[in-house]
Amino acid sequence: MKHPTMTTSDNGIVLLILSLACVGVVAGLYGFARAIGRTRPEPGKDVPASAGQMSRDPVWVRYHARYLGYALLFLAFDMEMAFMYPWAVVYKQEGVVALLDMGVFLGILFLGLLYGWSQGALRRQ
């Protein structure tokens, strides 16, 4: 078993610096593009493109998500991941017990999936 030479905070700081550097580079690019020239304001230019017609109305409306059945199941089903990662790491060490435990857990969850399926949650609403 190899252990990382860096601690969590070292890693975190590297990632933080990477993120900041990335944002910095992008900001630099934006600055460069702006130095090349500003966008010339013209009529109709900043209207969202819609196939040759001028769309004027705001489109921020209540949107009908047809996948809401999946979304509801997903919210609950997704939580299994929180338990599976620590379980996967100790799986070899714990052996059959781990397999059975997770088998029961996933079996229970799968029942929920089957129920959703039978009730028509797994389709466009």
Rounded CA gap, 67 and 115, in Å? 17
Burial of 113 (0-12, 13-18, 19+ CB in 10 A): middle
* Residue 30 C-beta: closest distance to other proteins, Å: 6
* Residue 11 C-beta: closest distance to other proteins, Å: 5
24 contacts other proteins (rule: CB under 8 A): no
User: 103 to 122, contacts with other proteins by CB under 8 A?
Assistant: 103-106, 108-113, 115-117, 119-122
* Residue 14 C-beta: closest distance to other proteins, Å: 4
Rounded CA gap, 125 and 122, in Å? 9
Number of amino acids touching other proteins (CB under 8 A): 109
* Residue 112 C-beta: closest distance to other proteins, Å: 3
Q: For residue 50, what are the contacts with CB-CB under 8 A and spacing of at least 6?
A: none
Amino acid at 29: L
User: 41 to 100, contacts with other proteins by CB under 8 A?
Assistant: 42-99
- Strand-pair category, 53-54 with 49-50: antiparallel
